[in-house]
A and B are shown apart, each in its own frame.
Chain A
Amino acid sequence: MSDRSAFQDFHATTLARPLAELEARRLSITKFAYAAFAPLGLMAVIFATGVRENGVIAYVLLGLTALGLGGWFYYLQSDFRDDFKREIVTRVIGFFSPGLRYNPKSRISRTQFETGDIFQHRIDRYNGEDHVTGQLGQTAFEFSELHAEYKTTTRTKNGTQTHWHTIFKGLYFIADFNKDFRGDTVVLPDSLQSAFGFLGQKLQSLNFSRGQLIKLEDPEFEKAFVVYSDDQIEARYILTPALMQRMVELKRKVGGRVYFAFTGSKVHVAIPTSKDHFEPRIFSTLLDVSAIEQYYHDLQLISGIIEDLNLNTRIWTKA
């Protein structure tokens, strides 16, 4: 049985019933949204065009109603989302590999994120969801969506204003690495060297917040990444020519920036994305198989990193 037809089979036998129930709920929520917000919008237009004597009061009333309805809609929607994740996403993940645990409200711990040391900015707000943990082959792994931010405050005439800036938003993946090592090695997307060549490399070696710059042999890899480590030999022990190829390939597959950290015998992979994974779509039908299949594909793609980096090859002393 092919991957696809297996999934469709699973969809028909296991997901169809809970999906039908959720679909009914989704429809009632969208109905509520249309029923509530369409007249509200119409009223706003009327108020805006026509001149009224009690204009201010009308606006306040309108605003309060909108706020109340909006709040109610948000509540319905997030409740639906939670149930969808519990009923559907959990099952999809179980189908993908029965050993995996899924916690929609949990995330990779902040300590872990900071240990990776890929992003060095001070963190003021740390959020995340869709935490998956488990083991595939011999490799234990976990991943989740993360959003780390820092804030700046600026003084204005009316007091202070707080701005939030994203440090990292996307998927964060941690897996047990197949070799033992002691030091810290980070592999970052290369911006300087590809833009400025030799001079850029000189600048890279002056990076004080990182370890030593590691110059590697693979020109394609060197163009895509810059490597810092506290141990020249260990960095090369981790980054074999084969692994470098695989990392370039992974970057190509992701189609954007990828960050790696090798620390505490683990590999961290950070992939910035704007997409919110494992979320239901409120305004389109749930009964479309391909929409649900998308979660499966996302899962395949993310846990595929284990194969992409060949982490299940255990020919070294680390079992």
Chain B
Amino acid sequence: MIILIIILVVAALIGFGLYNSLVGKKNQVENAFASIDVFLKKRYDLIPNLVATVKQYMQHEADTLTKVTEMRARATSGSVGTDEKVEINNQLSAGLGRIMVAVEAYPELKANENFNQLQRTLNETEEQLSAARRAFNASVTDFNNAVEMFPTNILAGMMGYTRRTLLVTPEAERANVNVGDLFKR
């Protein structure tokens, strides 16, 4: 009788432990996703400044600048869903990348102290953003492992947890990495 009780108590404790670790992992994923938002917001804040600084120098890139401004407005409007938001931000990355490449053709702009500072901040934000994405992917992997591996998969099935998808960098943005090479990152 006592043995049976002990077995039950131990089994219950293990069950609680597994349950809590699953919930913890799920929250970790959500937390990581939210922190991407923090850095996206930081990037939105930079864009008006950047556009204002480069506008007077870059007449030929007026198109790109307008587009970037528009996309920023759409992304911050609050009426877009998650998928759409990801899409807009991918385009935004590509647009910013184009601007940074185009800068090479404007020596006065490159010499501008204000622009330099903006460029540094933007570099930093992009790097933080990519760190946040990687952190998100790491926590999703952790979560997915728990959902699929024994014994947590049994519990996950009962809780209705399913695999999450990783954030994948689209082609356009991979090209953006080459922009970094231009600046000898």
Q: Which of A214, A237, A242 lies in contact with B185, CB distance below 8 A? A: A242
Tell me, yes or no, whether B184 is within 8 Å of chain A by CB.
Answer: yes
Distance, CA A198 to CA B123, complexed state (A): 35
B interface residues (Cβ-Cβ under 8 A, vs A): 32, 35, 117, 119-121, 123-124, 127-128, 130-132, 134-135, 137-139, 141-142, 183-185
Closest to A214 in B: B138
How far, in Å, is B135 (CB) from chain A's closest CB?
Answer: 5
Task: Establish whether residues B132 and A233, one from each chain, have CB atoms under 8 Å apart when the complex forms.
Answer: yes
Distance, CA A272 to CA B138, complexed state (A): 31
Task: Establish whether residues B134 and A217, one from each chain, have CB atoms under 8 Å apart when the complex forms.
Answer: yes
Task: Establish whether residues A215 and B142, one from each chain, have CB atoms under 8 Å apart when the complex forms.
Answer: yes
Interface-facing stretch out of A167-175, A247-255, A311-319? A311-319
Distance, CA A127 to CA B124, complexed state (A): 39
Task: Establish whether residues B128 and A315, one from each chain, have CB atoms under 8 Å apart when the complex forms.
Answer: no
Q: Which of A216, A313, A317 lies in contact with B117, CB distance below 8 A? A: A317
Considering only residues 215-231 of chain A, those with a C-beta below 8 Å from chain B are 215-217
A interface residues (Cβ-Cβ under 8 A, vs B): 179, 214-217, 232-237, 240, 242, 313, 315-317
List, in ascending order, chain B residues with CB within 8 A of A240's CB. 127, 130-131
List, in ascending order, chain B residues with CB within 8 A of A216's CB. 134, 138
Task: Establish whether residues B120 and A237, one from each chain, have CB atoms under 8 Å apart when the complex forms.
Answer: no
Distance, CA A248 to CA B68, complexed state (A): 38
Distance, CA A234 to CA B32, complexed state (A): 12
Task: Establish whether residues A317 and B121, one from each chain, have CB atoms under 8 Å apart when the complex forms.
Answer: yes
Distance, CA A313 to CA B127, complexed state (A): 14
How far, in Å, is B167 (CB) from chain A's closest CB?
Answer: 12
Closest to B145 in A: A198
Task: Establish whether residues A317 and B35, one from each chain, have CB atoms under 8 Å apart when the complex forms.
Answer: no
How far, in Å, is B53 (CB) from chain A's closest CB?
Answer: 16
Closest to A205 in B: B142
Inter-chain pairs besides A215-B138, A232-B32, A317-B117, 16 sampled, C-beta below 8 Å: A179-B124, A179-B127, A215-B142, A217-B134, A217-B137, A232-B135, A232-B139, A233-B35, A233-B128, A233-B132, A236-B134, A237-B128, A240-B130, A242-B185, A315-B123, A317-B124
Contact A316/B138 with A236-B131, A240-B127 known, Cβ cut-off 8 Å: no
Task: Establish whether residues A234 and B185, one from each chain, have CB atoms under 8 Å apart when the complex forms.
Answer: no
List, in ascending order, chain A residues with CB within 8 A of B141's CB. 215
Closest to B38 in A: A233
Distance, CA A237 to CA B142, complexed state (A): 19
Distance, CA A10 to CA B163, complexed state (A): 65
List, in ascending order, chain A residues with CB within 8 A of B184's CB. 313
Distance, CA A235 to CA B134, complexed state (A): 10
List, in ascending order, chain A residues with CB within 8 A of B135's CB. 232-233, 236
Closest to A316 in B: B124
List, in ascending order, chain A residues with CB within 8 A of B120's CB. 315-317
Which 10 A-B residue pairings sit nearest by Cβ, starting from the closest? A236-B131, A237-B131, A316-B124, A232-B135, A233-B135, A236-B134, A317-B120, A315-B123, A233-B132, A233-B131
